[in-house]
Amino acid sequence: MQPRNMSMRGAVDLAAVKAAAEAAQKAEQARAARARQAQEAEAGGVAAPSAGPLIFDVSERDFEEQVVGLSAEVPVVLNFWAEGYAPAEQFKPVIEQLAEEYDGRFVLANVDLRSSQQLAQQLQIRDLPTLLAVVAGQLLPLFEGPASEPEVRQVLDKLVEAAGSQLGVVGEIGARSGRGDVDSELPEPVDPALAAAHDALDRGDLGGAVQAYRNVLADRPGDVEASLGLAQAELLQRVQGLDPQAVRTAAAERPTDVDAQLAAADLDLTGGHVEDAFGRLVDTVGRTFGEDRDRVRTHLLGLFQVIGAEDPRVVKARGALARKLF
């Protein structure tokens, strides 16, 4: 059977919201523990531990625990194979080598068909090897049957790009292999530019805060603290001067009006109604198409950033967004 191009449609709902939320909380605890271990390792002159394996075996017994929850943090690729079946045996080292090369942009879970027959039946596995992916609790078909290394690489690139751009699920390069910067797990000292941005936000100088955070990100595009600060400052800027009653009336009367729903969601979030804000925009994604849908999705990802990727409410909403999109 010829490999199929990756489809980002027809995702299977794995009912993983609860597991994903719990996994996110555990992930945050694990990150804090790794930071402490990294400090101890540096002081003792030994290598710091990695976040987890790039490649692991999984069975139907521990599928939800090991795969579904983890998929809120990093794309998980499932390789269904069986010992003694030549096409699957020949493909396994190919996909494992790619998992090593991609170094945390996704993780690989090998599933032995013989020990996971019920899972294979549930997921409608018809040929070996079969490659699937789980992202934010959603199962995405990649391809089935033998494929060449360039074909697999192309599919993986599409998966990684779609997981990040559509749902904000991005694996951290080097975090699991230990080849990344150990110090990246440790809190960085606040520099003067970041301190100035924080001060502007605290004073209510939202325009100054936005510009200051952008200046920091221009020098350090991956600075998480600056990204969070910018998202917060921009949110507060957007709700300045809004008439809450008028905004909510407009949103109730015009459910397909993107501007009305975005404004109402911003007010929901600043008022502490986080799940209402997320639910409003997830529903709006389901009612819109084309540029309007992409605009709502991007706005929602920005609100996720305000709350924090590991917050259970974000994990839950990300799964709901995935079901609307795919």
C-alpha distances out from residue 51 to 41, 69, 104, Å: 14, 15, 10
In a domain, 69, yes or no: yes
Kindly state whether residues 29 and 141 are assigned to the same domain. yes
The reported pLDDT for the residue numbered 51 is 55
Q: What is the mean pLDDT of residues 251-256?
A: 93
CATH code, domain with 97: 3.40.30.10
Q: What percent of the chain shows pLDDT beyond 90?
A: 44
The reported pLDDT for the residue numbered 190 is 53
Kindly state whether residues 126 and 210 are assigned to the same domain. no
User: In this structure, are residues 139 and 71 in contact, taking their beta carbons and an 8 Å threshold?
Assistant: no
Alpha helices in 145-223 (DSSP H): 149-167, 192-203, 206-219
Kindly state whether residues 235 and 314 are assigned to the same domain. yes
Kindly state whether residues 129 and 273 are assigned to the same domain. no
Kindly state whether residues 156 and 238 are assigned to the same domain. no
Kindly state whether residues 252 and 301 are assigned to the same domain. yes
Kindly state whether residues 152 and 253 are assigned to the same domain. no
- For 97-137, how does the pLDDT look when each residue is reduced to its tens digit (9 = 90+)? 999 999 999 999 999 998 899 998 888 899 999 999 999 88
In a domain, 280, yes or no: yes
Kindly state whether residues 159 and 206 are assigned to the same domain. no
pLDDT class for 39, splitting at 50, 70, 90?
Answer: low
User: In this structure, are residues 68 and 24 in contact, taking their beta carbons and an 8 Å threshold?
Assistant: no
In a domain, 119, yes or no: yes
Kindly state whether residues 34 and 132 are assigned to the same domain. yes
Report whether pLDDT(161) > 50: yes
Q: What domain range includes position 256?
A: 189-325
Give phi and psi for 107, each to the nearest 5. -115, 155
The reported pLDDT for the residue numbered 2 is 37
- Closest by CA to 130, choosing from 119, 142, 121, is 142
What is the value of pTM for the model shown?
A: 0.59
In a domain, 122, yes or no: yes
- Spell out where 5-116 has E strands: 12-13, 55-57, 76-81, 107-112
Kindly state whether residues 218 and 321 are assigned to the same domain. yes
Number of domains observed in the structure of the chain: 2
Report whether pLDDT(18) > 80: no
User: In this structure, are residues 266 and 239 in contact, taking their beta carbons and an 8 Å threshold?
Assistant: yes
CATH code, domain with 194: 1.25.40
In a domain, 125, yes or no: yes
